């Protein structure tokens, strides 16, 4: 299958600290790492490693961070022909603090991501499409309107969107806080809605009715950054392959669990063999 991902591309600066700071608090003793990230790029790489052929549409700056941000997409043969270089805005950056249990705090400076405008999109987007909310809302809305096939919208971070988008999406993925933000609006269309529950797994609804649920295998979390994006890429691949709702949730929960056991967003993303192995062993 060939999937198009329209989304953000960042370079992540990750500080692994003894604890996460409270408001006004300084925490010392951290170590710093740099990894490619961005919800769009993470989901693109996750789908690619799990068996899809992925085309990425996004934007980076004309700076030294762009090469790092794109490195793993290129290494895994994601098609980056739709990624433009912006001369006026820097590559997006995420500042991430992670504690020993894998919990994190994230601040994003969008940079070039907020300059991905509808004019950058093809007139028609053929094949399956995955989107998130780290781009301008008008660009997300335009992409959905130009899609001709399966559409997955990861409504993260939560922001107001049109009822038309919610009705058009074949799959909506949200976490618990995002689900609370949108409320019953999520269920007005006929598509499937997945609510991720962290270590408790995930649930799938259709027209407000629970149709499937799954729990992840037990793992030791190291860094949850990117685990949710891994889930999105995985469930799209599984559903597009024709897996049942329950099997697709199980597959995606397993992929996300593996991602949480490793540091960094994109470096943590598993291969297909790793996901199948943990499902079989658990």
The burial of 87, by beta-carbon neighbours within 10 Å (0-12 exposed, 13-18 middle, 19 or more buried), is given as: exposed
Q: Which CATH architecture has domain 2-10+38-91+111-281?
A: 3-Layer(aba) Sandwich (3.40)
- Per the prediction, the chain carries an average pLDDT of 96
Give Cα separations from 1 to 58, 127, 242 (angstroms).
20, 8, 12
- Sheet bearing 10-16, strands edge to edge: 31-37, 10-16, 92-98, 104-109
**In the chain, what is the greatest distance between 2 CA atoms, to the nearest angstrom?**
50
Which residues are known catalytic residues?
229
pTM for this entry = 0.94
CA atoms within 13 A on the CB side of 187: 14
How does pLDDT run across 191-228, given as a tens digit for each residue? 999 999 998 999 999 999 999 999 999 999 888 888 99
Read off the tokens for 178. 């995002």
* Residue 68 confidence (pLDDT): 96
How does pLDDT run across 227-275, given as a tens digit for each residue? 999 999 999 999 999 999 999 999 999 999 999 999 888 999 999 999 9
Give Cα separations from 190 to 140, 159, 205, 260, 275 (angstroms).
20, 21, 10, 31, 29
How does pLDDT run across 90-142, given as a tens digit for each residue? 999 999 898 998 888 989 999 999 999 999 999 999 999 999 999 999 999 99
């Amino acid at each position: 299958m060939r999937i198009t991902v329209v989304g953000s591309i960042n370079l992540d600066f990750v500080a692994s600290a003894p604890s996460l700071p409270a408001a006004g608090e300084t925490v010392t003793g951290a170590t710093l790492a740099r990894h490619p990230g961005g919800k769009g790029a993470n989901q693109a790489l996750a789908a690619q490693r799990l068996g899809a052929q992925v085309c990425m549409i996004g934007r980076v700056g004309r700076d030294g961070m762009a090469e790092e941000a794109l490195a793993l997409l290129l290494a895994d043969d994601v098609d980056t022909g739709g990624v433009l270089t912006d001369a006026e805005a820097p590559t997006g950056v995420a500042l991430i603090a992670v504690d020993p249990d894998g919990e994190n705090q994230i601040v994003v400076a969008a940079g070039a991501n907020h300059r991905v405008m509808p004019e950058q999109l093809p007139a028609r987007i053929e094949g399956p499409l995955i989107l998130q909310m780290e781009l301008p809302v008008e660009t997300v809305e335009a992409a959905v309107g130009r899609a001709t096939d399966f559409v997955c919208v990861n409504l993260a971070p939560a922001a107001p969107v049109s009822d038309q988008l919610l009705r058009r999406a074949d799959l909506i993925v949200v976490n618990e806080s995002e689900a609370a933000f949108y409320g019953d609006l999520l269920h007005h269309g006929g598509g499937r809605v997945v609510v991720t529950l962290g270590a408790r797994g995930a649930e799938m609804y259709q027209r407000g009715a629970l149709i499937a649920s799954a729990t992840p295998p037990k793992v030791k979390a190291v860094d949850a950054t990117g685990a949710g994006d891994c889930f999105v890429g995985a469930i799209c691949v599984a559903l597009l392959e024709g897996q049942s709702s329950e099997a697709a949730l199980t597959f995606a929960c397993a992929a996300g669990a593996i991602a949480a056991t490793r540091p960094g967003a994109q470096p943590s993303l598993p291969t297909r063999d790793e996901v199948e192995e943990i499902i079989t062993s658990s």
